[in-house]
Amino acid sequence: MPCPYLGMRDGMMSLKEQLDYLFDPRSVAVIGASNQLGKWGFIILARLLESKSGKEIYAINKKEREVLGLKAYGSVVDVPGPVDLVVITVPFQGIIDVMHDCVRKGVKVAIVITGGLAETGGEGARIEQEMVEIARRGGMRIVGPNCLGHVDTHSNVRTVGFLPGVKRGNVALISQSGNSSQSVTKYAGQMGLGFSKFVSSGNEADLHFEDYLEYLGQDDKTKVILGYIEGFREGRRFFELAKKLTKKKPIVIMKAGRTDAGVRAAQSHTASLAGSDMVLDAAFKQAGVIRVEEISELVDVAVPLLGQPLPQGRRVGVLAMGGGMAVMAADAVRREGLEMPAFSPATMEKLNSIMSHRWSRGNPVDPGGDLVSYQALWPMLADENIDAIIITGGVGMIASFPDWVKLPSSMKSRLDEARKRMEGAEIGNLDKTIQLMKKHQKPILFTTHVSGAARRGKVHSKLRSSYLGFYPTPERAARALACLVEYSEYLGIARGE
């Protein structure tokens, strides 16, 4: 489906060509570049320089002769080479002049960080309108205004000042809130998730959420699309695009503004119209869009989507270290509308032979004081009554050697040896587990509350690189699994309820 905006102007660049200039420009100029600590024009230029993209970077500042060690130009028009992308941080009163300059210079895309426009109504809204008209006449596209910038981890062009922890990977994030993206990228970093592209879409005066979605749908480097959204500019286009895309590429959306107070706040934030939440819910379902309730759940769902099979049904087996974890996981599974069936007689027989008489003798499996072992996990994975596994508390050595225990020094070397030996065995067990996961096409969600040793080392690296977890709580794992089940049912992979 073509961008409606493009339909207005024959012979222009395609949306793909335009957004290629955003994500992989030959050169970037910061208009409003500053030596002043804390200014947007300071932090954004510092970030661009730090990320070493190899692109030409220019500083534009009317008063200074040098900014952060770069020669400063009075206007973008004065830059000697071509400028594909600009980042604009000047106050809103100066925006119109800057836009004229950009068009004269032949800039392809302008990221407007500046706020105080449509979201404040009145004068700001008028300026925003004029800004868009200048860009349209000049064949330039606008990201924002009132946005935080963007990141491409492949071209390494990063215009977002405040967004630590964005590693290269296969997830894209489109966000109508800049600051909130920090939650997503920070938690994603902890879960080992990397990004292909990120864009803070702001007020969406010109480029809409739907434009980015269409572009990312065609982007080979993006396997999963995440979105934070407060309102749609082109609702119908969103759902038609989504319907096509979700058949091949999952879309996970956090839609804020669900309550009366939230809708009012969204209106003043990005001047968006929220629409009826229940109607949206139904539309999301019809289009195969995965909707989450809290922003960190975007990451919870993206992790297994990237590296695990989709569940073939809603029947969950739980393996828990400790009875309390077993009870809480069982509660969580049921509250998410998933099932906790009994194991097959064959599985029960195997589990009885593997575990001590203390085990819980049913689903959830609690070894009753012993460590949770992979030997218990494997028959559960093979059980024809089970579609997915949630593990809480860690398996094998992960939980068995907390490194905060200070030992008499005589024992230290024995412990280190044992650690090493067990780490080797653990990696072997994990390999076998991943094979079985693929063979049986059943996802495994690891949950742990154990810090320290569990969060480091080869075992943890392997868990992260295999997209197996860790989730911080069984509740979060169950919620993510419920989303996977729903998506799997939509695709016809899982049997419906």
**Site string (359-378) toward a copy of itself, x via CB under 8 A:** -xxxxx-x-xx---------
Question: Is 270 among the residues that bind a copy of itself (CB under 8 A)?
Answer: yes
Question: Is 43 among the residues that bind a copy of itself (CB under 8 A)?
Answer: yes
- Structure tokens, 252: 């996970």
**Residues in contact with a copy of itself, total (CB under 8 A)?**
93
Cβ-based nearer residue to a copy of itself, 312 or 363: 363
**Site string (116-155) toward a copy of itself, x via CB under 8 A:** x--xx---x---------------------x---------
Which among 156-164, 299-307, 461-469, 483-491 is the span making contact with a copy of itself, rule CB under 8 A? 156-164
Number of H-type helices and E-type strands within the chain: 17, 17
Q: Which of 401, 427, 441, 455 binds a copy of itself (CB under 8 A)?
A: 401
Q: Could you tell me the smallest distance in angstroms from the CB atom of residue 358 to a copy of itself? A: 4
Place of tokens 């203390």: 358
| CA–CA gap between residue 428 and residue 416 (Å, rounded) | 19
Question: Is 53 among the residues that bind a copy of itself (CB under 8 A)?
Answer: no
Which among 55-63, 97-105, 171-179, 379-387 is the span making contact with a copy of itself, rule CB under 8 A? 171-179
| CA–CA gap between residue 280 and residue 275 (Å, rounded) | 7
**CA 276: distance to chain centroid?**
25
| CA–CA gap between residue 434 and residue 469 (Å, rounded) | 13
Q: Could you tell me the smallest distance in angstroms from the CB atom of residue 146 to a copy of itself? A: 7
Q: Which of 27, 155, 156, 180 binds a copy of itself (CB under 8 A)?
A: 180
Question: Is 325 among the residues that bind a copy of itself (CB under 8 A)?
Answer: yes
- Tell which positions 54-73 bind a copy of itself, by CB under 8 A: 68-69
| CA–CA gap between residue 28 and residue 87 (Å, rounded) | 7
Question: Is 29 among the residues that bind a copy of itself (CB under 8 A)?
Answer: no
Partners of 291 in beta bridges: 253
Buried b (16+ CB within 10 A) or exposed e, 456-491: ebebbeebbebbbbbbbbbbbbbbbbbbbbbbbbbe
Question: Is 433 among the residues that bind a copy of itself (CB under 8 A)?
Answer: no
| CA–CA gap between residue 98 and residue 76 (Å, rounded) | 8
- Structure tokens, 317: 């087996």
Q: Which of 100, 136, 154, 186 binds a copy of itself (CB under 8 A)?
A: 186
Cβ-based nearer residue to a copy of itself, 40 or 490: 40
Q: Could you tell me the smallest distance in angstroms from the CB atom of residue 479 to a copy of itself? A: 11
**CA 371: distance to chain centroid?**
33
Buried b (16+ CB within 10 A) or exposed e, 321-334: bbeebbebbbebbe
Question: Is 93 among the residues that bind a copy of itself (CB under 8 A)?
Answer: no
| CA–CA gap between residue 161 and residue 151 (Å, rounded) | 10
**Site string (215-234) toward a copy of itself, x via CB under 8 A:** -------------x-x----
